[in-house]
Amino acid sequence: MTRDARRKLLSRLFVGACALAVLLALIPLAFVLFFVVSQGIQALSVTFFTHMPVPVGETGGGMLNSIVGTLILTGLAAAMAIPIGVISGIYMSEYPGTRFTSAVRFAADTLNGVPSIVIGVFAYGVAVLPFKQFSALAGGLALGIMMIPIIARTTEELLLLVPGAMREGALALGATRARAVFTVIVPSALPGIITGVVLALARVAGETAPLLFTSFNNRFFTSHLTQPISSITVQVFTYAISPYEDWHRQAWAGALVLVTFVLVCSLLARFATARVARLRGQ
């Protein structure tokens, strides 16, 4: 074989190997989605959303308490994380290049990399131990801490994309910094910021580890924030490691609900960003 033929062959093999890598990653995706949909759909019915869990041995029942629990927990997390995240993002984008901004950005990236279970341990220490009580508030705190850096970084990045002329225009008209930010800069980046928030919500809604010892679990329906509360993820975990067939079916149905939620959020985010990109292109 000539030298050139060998080079070409090597190159083809390399291209083939890269294509194979893509296939290798898509196989588990297809497998996971196939099993979640095919197993989940069998157990999914209206009852799943409207009824409470039934005792072991009885078939049927649903996850009403867990679904409401997840909504409450993510709501608490959002209430805590949106103000801190968005305003930190505004600060970083308004005062770029300062040492404090670099430090905050580094802290946000670091916080984003902290394992969720460690955040759970922290929330346990500050919100469960002192009150000797698992609670929805503690779970919301843990999820909120996870949301903050995601929201802060997306907000910062999107605000930096807003053309400088818009800020300068507002300031030249005599607006204060705050007025320029809240009436001109933030509104023009709002769809993107909302997208970031939705993606952050989708991510924490699927979290289990930080809830295991903060919001814990609850067999009963509750909306008391100072009581332990159920969540879809913790309930799926409980069911998955149980020895009962019925509970396994419920776990698959819960997984299907979670995956559908995540998928819908990603698609919404994709459409929103595509729209922003199109508007910007014009």
Partner 1 sequence: MRIRSRDLAFRLTTGAFALALASLVLAIGYELARQSGLSLQKFGLQFWRTSTWDPVAGEFGALPFIWGTLYSSVLALLIAAPVSLGIAVFVSELCPQRLRTPLVFLTELLAAIPSIVYGLWGIFVLVPAVRALETAMPAWLRVLPIFSGPPLGVGMLAAAVILAVMVIPFTSAIAREVLKTVPLAQREAAYALGATPFEAIRAALFYARTGIIGAVMLGFGRALGETMAVTMVIGNNPQVSASLFAPQYTMAAVLANEFTEAADELYLSALVEIGLVLFIITLIVNALSRLLIWSMASRTPGRVAA
- For residues 94-123, which are near partner 1 according to CB under 8 A? 94-95, 100-101, 103-104, 106-111, 113-122
Residue 269 and residue 267: Cα distance in Å, rounded? Answer: 5
CB of 67 to partner 1, least distance (A): 15
- Binders in 130-159 for partner 1, by CB under 8 A: 145, 148-149, 152
Nearer to partner 1, 72 or 92 (CB): 92
| Residue of 37, 68, 225, 259 interacting with partner 1 (CB under 8 A) | 259
Nearer to partner 1, 166 or 241 (CB): 241
CB of 177 to partner 1, least distance (A): 4
**Which range touches partner 1 (CB under 8 A), out of 58-66, 70-78, 159-167, 248-256?**
248-256
| Residue of 54, 184, 262, 272 interacting with partner 1 (CB under 8 A) | 262
Q: How many residues bind partner 1 (CB under 8 A)?
A: 92
Nearer to partner 1, 1 or 18 (CB): 18
CB of 56 to partner 1, least distance (A): 19
Residue 62 and residue 47: Cα distance in Å, rounded? Answer: 6
CB of 149 to partner 1, least distance (A): 7
**Which range touches partner 1 (CB under 8 A), out of 21-29, 41-49, 159-167, 187-195?**
21-29
| Residue of 96, 169, 172, 177 interacting with partner 1 (CB under 8 A) | 177
- Binders in 41-100 for partner 1, by CB under 8 A: 83-85, 87-88, 90-92, 94-95, 100
14 lines the binding site for partner 1 (CB under 8 A) = yes
| Residue of 1, 24, 46, 165 interacting with partner 1 (CB under 8 A) | 24
Q: In 10 A of CB 65, how many CB atoms?
A: 23
Q: What is the 3-state secondary structure (H, E, C) of the chain?
A: CCHHHHHHHHHHHHHHHHHHHHHHHHHHHHHHHHHHHHHHHHHCCHHHHHCCCCCCCCCCCCCHHHHHHHHHHHHHHHHHHHHHHHHHHHHHHHCCCCHHHHHHHHHHHHHHHCCHHHHHHHHHHHHHHHHCCCCHHHHHHHHHHHHHHHHHHHHHHHHHHCCHHHHHHHHHCCCCHHHHHHHHHHHHHHHHHHHHHHHHHHHHHCCCHHHCCCCCCCCCCCCCCCCCCCCHHHHHHHHHCCCCHHHHHHHHHHHHHHHHHHHHHHHHHHHHHHHHHHHHHC
Residue 75 and residue 69: Cα distance in Å, rounded? Answer: 10
CB of 225 to partner 1, least distance (A): 20
**Which range touches partner 1 (CB under 8 A), out of 59-67, 162-170, 188-196, 200-208?**
200-208
Nearer to partner 1, 99 or 165 (CB): 99
Q: In 10 A of CB 7, how many CB atoms?
A: 11
- What's the longest Cα–Cα distance across the chain? 77
| Residue of 1, 17, 46, 165 interacting with partner 1 (CB under 8 A) | 17
